[in-house]
């Protein structure tokens, strides 16, 4: 892994601390947030290759948080973690813009692969946006 930067959002502090340690040991840069509002603030200020988001949280739940995050950063790659054992919820999240979902307890190898895929996807979107912006600039200058 090449230093992917992720934001881990879950109200279970013990879980975020443990998963963050394991991801950091594998070379990832990890920040954590304990609720949706904190995650939105962090995303306003920083860039992340992936946001790993718990579905069931007090206050803003995972879906609400995801909608708010994607409103601010449409290119953001959100991976939902669901403890609901519910494929329907995960599918609903993907329809609403999540990159992917994983059932808790998550297999670390699968999660790492999804983070890697999310980074690739985000880079493609960023490149596409730069290309479009460049085209617009060139067009506006008569090229």
Partner 1 sequence: MTEDQEQQIRRQNLAFFGAITASVSHELSNVVTIINELSGMLGDMLDATDKGKELDNEKLRRLQQRLANQIPRADGIIKRLNRFAHTSDQPVMAYDANAAIGNLIDLAQRLASLKRVKIEGALCNDVASVEGSPFMMLNAVYLCLKQAIESASEGDTIAVATMCDKTELTISMRSSGGAHDGNELPYESLVSSLVDKLGGTLTLSSSSGESRYAISLPRSARK
- Choose the binding region for partner 1 from 45-53, 68-76, 98-106, 118-126 (rule: CB under 8 A): 98-106
**Site pattern 100..119 for partner 1 (x: CB under 8 A):** ----xxx-x-----------
37: contact with partner 1 by CB under 8 A: no
Count Cβ atoms within 10 A of the Cβ of residue 13 and give its class: 0-12 exposed, 13-18 middle, 19 or more buried: exposed
Instruction: Say which residues have a Cβ less than 8 Å from residue 19's Cβ, sequence separation at least 6.
Output: 8, 52
**SS3 category, 101:** strand
Q: Which of 42, 73, 83, 117 binds partner 1 (CB under 8 A)?
A: 83
59: contact with partner 1 by CB under 8 A: yes
Residues across the chain: 143
Q: CB-wise, 17 or 47, nearer to partner 1? A: 17
Distance CA 42, CA 131 (A): 27
**SS3 category, 75:** coil
Residues in touch with partner 1 (CB under 8 A) = 12, 14-15, 18-19, 21-22, 25, 56-59, 61, 83-85, 104-106, 108
């Amino acid at each position: 892994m090449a230093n992917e930067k992720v934001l881990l959002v879950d109200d279970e502090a013990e879980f975020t601390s443990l998963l963050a340690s394991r991801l950091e040991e594998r070379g990832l840069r990890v920040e954590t947030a304990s609720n949706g509002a904190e995650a939105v603030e962090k995303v306003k200020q920083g860039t992340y290759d992936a946001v790993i988001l718990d579905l069931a949280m007090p206050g803003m739940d995972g879906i609400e948080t995801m909608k708010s995050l994607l409103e601010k950063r449409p290119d953001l790659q959100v991976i939902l973690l669901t403890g609901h054992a519910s494929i329907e919820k995960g599918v609903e999240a993907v329809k609403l813009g999540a990159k992917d979902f994983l059932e808790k307890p998550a297999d670390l190898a699968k999660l790492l692969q999804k983070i890697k895929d999310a980074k690739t996807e985000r880079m493609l979107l960023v490149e596409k946006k730069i290309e479009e912006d460049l085209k617009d600039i060139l067009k506006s200058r008569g090229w």
